[in-house]
């Protein structure tokens, strides 16, 4: 049995298929709507291998800062984070045992769409406010669609990395001493999404408090 580090909780098959269907429809509407998803270019000129849209605050991949507009792309204002999505993240955090952070209120959601060739390099989520990072406020991740080979490492890039298969409906939460652990996605496993979702690829929602 895999032993997860302190501060990490993996809620497998947390979302029932009906709730997954509702979330997939929401994600599709957001990412394909006005000020929807785009493929970001990071500083240095490389293009990410996901489509991204941010709610609440926009993460600028050129500056690694959160902003009120999509200054790196089209200058559009950032859509708000809907209350029901924030409530879902709060529920997941509580069920993962993070109710000890009663002040945690997610105000950012990044929605990433991974196609068959989607990837995400090892990185830390460290662009939130110093107060949020110092408190170890959790990151809540929700997987929908195809299974992802998720890499989860240590606090240094060269630390050993575990490969976990995150399936549709899984919630993965890390905070406290694990808040700044490196993580990424090395590949997507095509054809593994529940057929009820009617998608080929993966939506990932990550919630955090700035």
The mean pLDDT value for 46-53 works out to 96
pLDDT digit string (tens) for 164-184? 999 999 999 999 999 999 999
Place of tokens 């924030």: 86
Q: Which two tokens stand for residue 63?
A: 């500056």
Q: Of 95-104, 171-180, 182-191, where does mean pLDDT reach its minimum?
A: 95-104
> Which residues, including other chains, have CB under 8 Å from residue 103's CB and lie 6 or more apart?
135
Which residue is associated with the tokens 């709060």? 90
Confidence of residue 1 (pLDDT cuts 50, 70, 90): low
205 versus 3: the higher-pLDDT residue is 205
Cα 202 from chain centre: 11
Say how far apart CA 199 and CA 193 lie, in whole Å. Answer: 7
Contact 37, 51 (CB under 8 A): yes
**What pLDDT is recorded for position 44?**
86
pLDDT tens, position by position, 115-129? 999 999 999 999 999
Poorest-confidence range of 32-36, 46-50, 174-178? 32-36
In which residue are the tokens 């984070």 written? 81
Work out the percent of the chain whose per-residue pLDDT is above 70: 98
CA distances from 127 to 18, 103, 164 (A): 33, 19, 24
pLDDT band at residue 102 using 50, 70 and 90 as cut-offs: low
Question: Check: CATH 3.40.50.720 for 8-31+82-208?
Answer: no
Q: Which long-range contacts (CB under 8 A, 24 or more apart) does 39-43 make?
A: 40/72, 40/73, 41/72
Does residue 104 carry a pLDDT above 90?
Answer: no
Q: Distance between CA atoms of 71 and 76, rounded to whole angstroms? A: 8
Whole-prediction pTM: 0.95
Q: Which of 20, 8, 55 lies closest to 36 in space, CA to CA? A: 55
Under 8 Å between Cβ of 189 and 147: yes
């Amino acid at each position: 049995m895999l032993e997860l580090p302190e501060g990490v909780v993996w809620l497998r098959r947390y979302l029932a298929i009906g709730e997954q269907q509702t979330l997939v429809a929401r994600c599709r509407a957001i990412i394909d709507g006005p000020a929807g998803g785009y493929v970001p270019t990071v500083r240095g000129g490389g293009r990410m291998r996901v489509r991204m849209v941010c709610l609440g605050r926009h993460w600028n991949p050129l500056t690694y800062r959160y902003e009120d507009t999509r200054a790196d792309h089209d200058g559009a204002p950032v859509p708000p984070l809907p209350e029901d999505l924030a409530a879902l993240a709060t529920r997941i955090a509580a069920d993962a045992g993070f109710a000890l952070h009663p002040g945690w209120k997610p105000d950012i959601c990044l929605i990433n769409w991974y196609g068959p060739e989607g990837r995400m390099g090892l990185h830390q989520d460290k662009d939130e406010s110093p107060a949020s990072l110092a408190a170890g406020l959790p990151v809540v991740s929700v997987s929908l669609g195809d299974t992802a080979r998720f890499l989860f490492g240590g606090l240094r890039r060269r630390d050993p990395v575990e490969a976990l298969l995150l399936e549709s409906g899984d919630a993965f939460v890390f905070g406290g001493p694990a808040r700044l652990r490196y993580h990424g996605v090395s590949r997507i496993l095509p054809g593994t999404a529940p057929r009820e979702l009617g998608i080929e690829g993966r939506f990932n929602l990550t919630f955090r408090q700035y």
